[in-house]
């Protein structure tokens, strides 16, 4: 038995940040990660970094055939993640009081874990244990899907050596949209089978429609209302059977991507032995301070059921650090206006309320929006040759405060952070409109968009008008 001040299970953003912080304070920390290929966590190895690297390669194709360009993109991405993985390991390994242990951790009780790696077994004890095991791709229970040799998850697809000529994607959510955009640009024939009536159901209908048209223009085909009933391997591919419009259809593809969400990774942790409860969705149950039902055990990152973003995991680490070394006041309640980006091409970014959400809450709403192609005061879009998309702001017509913004445009992943800061600081739409921005930039589009004549939105029964 080895004793530590802190055990962190999982090398993700929140866990590694917390481990480094506590280690630099002189605390004895054990970082337990089940795979040496996951040093640094999901984002570095199989999430944000490799997918966005592939998006970049897809948007900026080099010389060669589509298959050659794809292979170079995968090779370059592997090299990048290998470099970052090594740096992440070194960042902890060079702290004298931090020990990185590779193996699978299982709780024996609330203060003890067993780590196994082959025939090797360690038992570790600590007053505080942090669960940071992340989430894994969800594979829906469709007959034949799990058994298919052609099944891919997002983890598989980013490391695929060959370019699928025909790629079927199950799910029209954010992951499905991102991969559809990426692989269409790599020249795959992409078909998205979505059970819902449209992609990205959390977005306003006009935004989803604009995104759909952009993706269709890139060659993506959509089948809305598709209920997949069976998957079976055929010679040189896979056949997907689905029902849509009251009829049964089949689709042949080279590979099928299950893009139907991610499930918190708690299997095999032995949480019941530590007295740690989980939610009906399988996430570790936490309070606003990220404490579990066992007082000395915390959960950070995707495993706790919060928004599945790296930057949320980072903020989780700040909350737990405050619990362990500070005044213990920081909590998830403090979070306001968390933005996100879907890296289709161009990127779709949003913060705050959609138009529909604001109206459903009974707020006095006015909306200003403009197609990027019509924004004269945004020459950067024309300079870089990306004039697709729109910008949309939802504003409280009484206070002039920004309730939400959706930016489907070039540079939206950067612009949304400025809007988010403005919302957090109570900056009005008029102040954002009249601010001085550099030229030529994407930001200066706000001068024009927020000067557009607004339209008011009201709720009549179940209809927005």
Q: Is 22 helix (H, G, I), strand (E, B) or coil?
A: helix
For residue 284, how many other CB atoms are within 10 A of its CB? 26
Residues taking part in catalysis = 439
Give the integer Cα–Cα distance in Å for 134 and 76.
25
Give buried/exposed letters for 63-87 (b at 16+ CB in 10 A, else e).
eeeeeebbbebbeebeeebeebbee
For residue 250, how many other CB atoms are within 10 A of its CB? 11
Contact 282, 263 (CB under 8 A): yes
Give the integer Cα–Cα distance in Å for 264 and 137.
9
Give the integer Cα–Cα distance in Å for 285 and 281.
10
Q: Where are the alpha helices (DSSP H) in 25-98?
A: 42-45, 48-59, 66-93
Give buried/exposed letters for 150-179 (b at 16+ CB in 10 A, else e).
bbbbbeebbebeebbebbbbbbbbbbbbbb
Tokens of residue 361, six digits: 């809450």
Give the integer Cα–Cα distance in Å for 168 and 147.
16
- In the chain, count of helices (H) and strands (E)? 14, 25
Asked if omega into 386 is within 30° of 0 (cis), the reply is: no
Q: Look at strands 112-117 and 120-131 and give their pairing.
A: antiparallel
């Amino acid at each position: 038995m080895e004793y530590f001040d802190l055990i962190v299970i999982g090398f993700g953003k929140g866990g590694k940040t917390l481990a480094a912080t506590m280690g630099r304070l002189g605390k004895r920390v054990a970082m337990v990660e089940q795979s040496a290929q996951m040093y640094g966590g999901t984002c570095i190895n199989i999430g944000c970094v490799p997918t966005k690297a592939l998006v970049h390669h897809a948007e900026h194709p080099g010389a060669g055939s589509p298959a050659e360009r794809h292979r170079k993109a995968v090779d370059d991405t592997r090299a990048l993640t290998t470099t970052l993985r090594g740096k992440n390991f070194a960042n902890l390994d060079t702290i004298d009081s931090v020990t990185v242990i590779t193996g699978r951790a299982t709780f024996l009780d609330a203060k003890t874990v067993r780590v196994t790696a082959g025939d090797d077994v360690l038992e570790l004890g600590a007053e505080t244990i942090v669960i940071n095991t992340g989430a894994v791709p969800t594979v829906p229970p469709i007959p034949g899907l799990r058994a298919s040799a052609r099944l891919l998850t997002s983890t598989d697809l980013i490391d695929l050596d060959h370019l699928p000529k025909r790629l079927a994607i199950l799910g029209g959510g954010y992951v499905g949209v991102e991969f559809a955009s990426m692989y269409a640009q790599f020249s795959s024939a992409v078909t998205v089978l979505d059970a819902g009536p449209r992609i990205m159901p959390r977005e306003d209908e006009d935004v989803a429609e604009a995104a759909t048209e952009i993706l269709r223009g890139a060659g993506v085909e959509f089948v809305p209302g598709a209920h997949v009933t069976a998957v079976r391997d055929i010679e040189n591919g896979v056949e997907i059977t689905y029902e849509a419009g009251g009829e049964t259809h089949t689709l042949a593809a080279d590979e099928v991507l299950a893009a139907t969400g991610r499930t918190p990774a708690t299997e095999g942790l032995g949480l019941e032995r530590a007295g740690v409860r989980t939610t009906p969705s399988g996430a570790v149950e936490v309070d606003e301070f990220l404490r579990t039902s066992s007082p000395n055990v915390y959960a950070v990152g995707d495993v706790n059921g919060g928004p599945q973003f790296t930057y949320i995991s980072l903020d989780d680490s700040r909350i737990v650090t405050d619990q362990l070394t500070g005044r213990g006041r920081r909590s998830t309640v403090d979070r306001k206006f968390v933005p996100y980006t879907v890296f289709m091409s161009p990127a779709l970014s949003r913060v705050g309320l959609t138009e529909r959400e604001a109206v459903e809450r009974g707020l006095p709403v006015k909306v200003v929006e403009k197609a990027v192609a019509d924004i004269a005061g945004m020459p950067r879009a024309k300079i870089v040759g990306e004039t697709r998309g729109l910008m949309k702001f939802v504003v409280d017509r009484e206070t002039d405060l920004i309730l939400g913004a959706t930016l489907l445009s070039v540079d939206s992943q950067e612009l949304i952070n400025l809007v988010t800061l403005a919302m957090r600081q109570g900056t009005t739409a008029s102040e954002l409109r009249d601010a001085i921005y550099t030229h030529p930039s994407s930001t200066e589009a706000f001068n024009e968009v927020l000067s557009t004549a607004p339209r008011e939105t009201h709720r009549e029964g179940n209809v927005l008008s």
